[in-house]
Amino acid sequence: AALRTAAEAEGTGIRVLTGAEWAAAAAPGTSDSTRAGLWLILSMALLCTGIALANTLVTATTDRVRDLAVLRLTGASVPQVLRLVTAEAVAVVTVGAVIGAGVAAVNLAGVWGALALLGV
């Protein structure tokens, strides 16, 4: 407070700010167009991921036509075969999501640590 009074009393045009005031004045704000652009990029990435996942599951299912036919010939009903395929798909998606979240967490921790070293 004394520094602020002394700097402003001299008429030098110096402004003394607290850390919070400086951060609020110096930090760039996020505009609506920037936020919309980030949502657009995120949605495109999720769409491509969904298409790749669906393509992988369709390919895996078409490669297993004989296996599914053997299940039907051994007495499995159509709902049982569909439940089996669904359970396998859910298991693959769950494992992929857990591994993906782990990789993303490691990457984000690295970025967070680097930004902390820079003082951002």
Dist. CA 75–CA 64, nearest whole Å: 17
Where in the chain are the domains? 1-30, 31-63, 77-120
pLDDT 10s digits, 40-77: 999 999 999 999 988 987 888 888 889 889 999 999 99
First-to-final CA distance of the chain: 27
Which of 11-15, 26-30, 52-56 is predicted most confidently? 52-56
Residue 120 — very low, low, confident or very high, per pLDDT cuts 50/70/90? low
Q: In the numeric block, which tokens belong to residue 91?
A: 């298991």
Residue 11 — very low, low, confident or very high, per pLDDT cuts 50/70/90? low
Q: What's 29's DSSP letter?
A: P
